[in-house]
């Protein structure tokens, strides 16, 4: 009878043979590894892969960095990196992946401003009629005696009109004639002449002084000053020298007449109580009213009514030197226009009522100037070694 084998013995035999086979397999594997040089990493070597984007657009988030690191680690572990074998029987593979959070790149737009010079404004002076157009008639002694001249408002094209003496000139409203005073016949008389020097005509013939003549706005009459009947009166005569009329008929010295633009009133000077004062009267001589009696001015003369009927210009030297003043026709709004230590005399308005022509000795000799009614724009019109005085501007 065959003896039965114990199950425990059978199990032990199987385990012994299994161990022998396992040891044999390990020895064979170890021999293969040493001979072929399979993947091994030095125990102390640390590989730190670095990923540097070469073209970054916008910001890189930490999640993007982590995903990239994981991919690099996978490549590393699959054998794409190779290290030298070590004699140590224990190979330790240490993989360190450093994920560095790169700050988002910042795009800062830069505005490039090019300093381009602005175009330079070029002003071309185009000759235009100044001070309302017309011409200035004036007197000058540049030939050795006082004669009448005309010129443009800018001082150009000066032309001598008289030959034989002339002063205190003024234009007719239509600019066809010039009225003036002359002593060419031995006495101060009133004459008219054409702007080209032709047509000389004597209007007065009296042994007394006749002067300061000015046309009426309609050209029908001429007003002037004469002392033929006393200390001085304002007279009116026709443009041909007829129908002489004494308008003031006062015991005072009255002179320097200037009619209003509508011809209904006349501004003049009256010497009363030791003072030269500016008055206004009706064209027939009645209704005489003082304009400067309520001011501090006591040495006024030569009034001139503005063409727009808004103001009356005159001169005054109460302060010791003569200045040009302007006052409203009702006696209000008095102001000093020239305010200069030199003597400024003989004012006359431009046709547009924006400028006043006058004479001044501020340059050493008397020359003719234009000044705006606010006193800000002053222009020297004549520049002669002789004296140029008593300007009057034509209305047209």
Q: Which residues contact 369 (CB under 8 A, 6 or more apart)?
A: 344, 357, 358, 359, 360, 378, 379, 380, 381
The answer to whether 329 touches 309, Cβ cutoff 8 Å, is yes
The answer to whether 384 touches 373, Cβ cutoff 8 Å, is no
Q: Return per-residue pLDDT of the chain as tens, 396 residues.
A: 444 555 566 666 667 666 677 756 656 555 544 554 444 444 444 444 444 444 443 444 444 545 544 554 454 444 444 443 444 444 444 444 444 444 544 444 444 434 444 443 332 333 334 555 678 999 999 999 999 999 998 899 999 999 999 999 999 999 999 999 999 999 999 999 999 999 999 999 999 999 999 999 999 999 999 999 988 999 999 999 999 999 999 899 999 999 999 999 999 999 998 999 999 999 999 999 999 999 999 999 999 999 999 999 999 999 999 999 999 999 999 999 999 999 999 999 998 999 999 999 999 999 999 999 999 999 999 999 999 999 998 754
* Burial of residue 389, with CB atoms counted within 10 A of its CB: 0-12 exposed, 13-18 middle, 19 or more buried: buried
Which CATH code is given to the segment(s) 136-393? 2.120.10.30
**What gap in Å lies between CA 348 and CA 137, rounded to an integer?**
11
The DSSP code for 60 is: -
**What gap in Å lies between CA 182 and CA 169, rounded to an integer?**
10
What integer pLDDT is reported at residue 134 of this predicted model?
78
The answer to whether 226 touches 256, Cβ cutoff 8 Å, is no
**Cα dist. 120→114, 116, 117 in Å?**
18, 12, 8
**What gap in Å lies between CA 188 and CA 211, rounded to an integer?**
7
**Cα dist. 202→129, 240, 268, 374 in Å?**
32, 9, 24, 39
Torsion angle, CA of 22/26/32/37, rounded to 10 degrees? 150
The answer to whether 88 touches 43, Cβ cutoff 8 Å, is yes
The answer to whether 309 touches 265, Cβ cutoff 8 Å, is no
The DSSP code for 364 is: S
Estimate to the nearest angstrom the gap between the alpha carbon of 387 and the chain centroid: 36
- Sign of the C-alpha dihedral computed for residues 146, 147, 153 and 157 taken in this order: negative
Residue 204, beta-bridge partner list: none
What integer pLDDT is reported at residue 83 of this predicted model?
40
The beta-carbon contacts of 364-373 under 8 Å, at least 24 apart in sequence, are: 368/136, 368/138, 368/155, 369/344, 370/130, 370/131, 370/153, 371/324, 371/337, 371/338, 373/311, 373/326, 373/337
**What gap in Å lies between CA 248 and CA 381, rounded to an integer?**
36
| Closest alpha carbon to 146 in 166, 170, 171, 169 | 166
CA atoms within a 13 Å half-sphere pointing along the CA-CB vector of 203: 30
| Closest alpha carbon to 232 in 188, 166, 186, 183 | 188
Map out the domains of the chain as residue ranges.
Answer: 41-50+61-100, 136-393
Q: Which bin fits 161, alpha (ψ -120 to 50), beta or left (φ > 0)?
A: alpha
| Closest alpha carbon to 135 in 368, 386, 378 | 368
**What gap in Å lies between CA 357 and CA 345, rounded to an integer?**
9
For β-strands 335-336 and 312-316, DSSP reports them as: unpaired
**What gap in Å lies between CA 320 and CA 317, rounded to an integer?**
5
């Amino acid at each position: 009878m065959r003896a039965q084998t114990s199950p425990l013995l059978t199990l032990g035999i199987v385990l012994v043979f299994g161990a022998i086979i396992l040891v044999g397999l390990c020895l064979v594997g170890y021999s293969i590894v040493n001979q072929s040089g399979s993947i091994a990493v030095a125990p102390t070597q640390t590989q730190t892969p670095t990923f540097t984007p070469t073209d970054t657009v916008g910001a890189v988030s930490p999640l993007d960095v982590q995903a990239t690191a994981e991919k690099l680690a996978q490549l590393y572990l699959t054998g794409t990196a190779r290290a030298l074998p070590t004699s140590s029987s224990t190979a330790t593979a240490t993989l360190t992946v450093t994920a560095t959070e790169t700050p988002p790149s910042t795009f800062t737009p830069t505005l490039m401003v090019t300093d381009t010079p602005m175009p330079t404004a070029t002003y071309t002076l185009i000759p235009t009629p100044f001070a309302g157009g017309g011409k200035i008639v004036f007197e000058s002694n540049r030939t050795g005696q006082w004669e009448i001249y005309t010129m443009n408002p800018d001082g150009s094209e000066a032309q001598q009109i008289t030959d034989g003496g002339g002063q205190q000139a003024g234009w007719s409203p239509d600019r066809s004639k010039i009225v003036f005073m002359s002593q060419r016949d031995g006495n101060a008389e009133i004459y008219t002449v054409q702007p080209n020097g032709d047509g000389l005509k004597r209007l007065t013939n009296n042994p007394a002084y006749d002067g300061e003549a000015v046309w009426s706005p309609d050209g029908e009459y001429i007003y002037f000053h004469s002392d033929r009947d006393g200390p001085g009166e304002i007279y009116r005569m026709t443009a041909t020298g007829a129908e002489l009329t004494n308008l003031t008929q006062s015991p005072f010295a009255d002179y320097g007449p200037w009619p209003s633009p509508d011809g209904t009133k006349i501004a003049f000077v009256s010497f009363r109580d030791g003072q030269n004062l500016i008055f206004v009267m009706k064209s027939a001589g009645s209704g005489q009213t003082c304009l400067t009696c309520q001011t501090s001015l006591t040495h006024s003369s030569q009034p001139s009514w503005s063409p727009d009927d808004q103001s009356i210009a005159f001169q005054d030297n109460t302060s010791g030197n003569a200045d040009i003043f302007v006052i409203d026709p009702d006696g209000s709004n008095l102001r000093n226009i020239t305010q200069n230590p030199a003597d400024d005399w003989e004012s006359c308005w431009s046709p547009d009522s924006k400028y006043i022509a006058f004479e001044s000795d501020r340059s050493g000799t008397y020359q003719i100037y234009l000044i705006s009614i606010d006193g800000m724009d002053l222009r020297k019109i004549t520049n002669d070694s002789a004296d140029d005085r008593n300007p009057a501007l034509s209305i047209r």
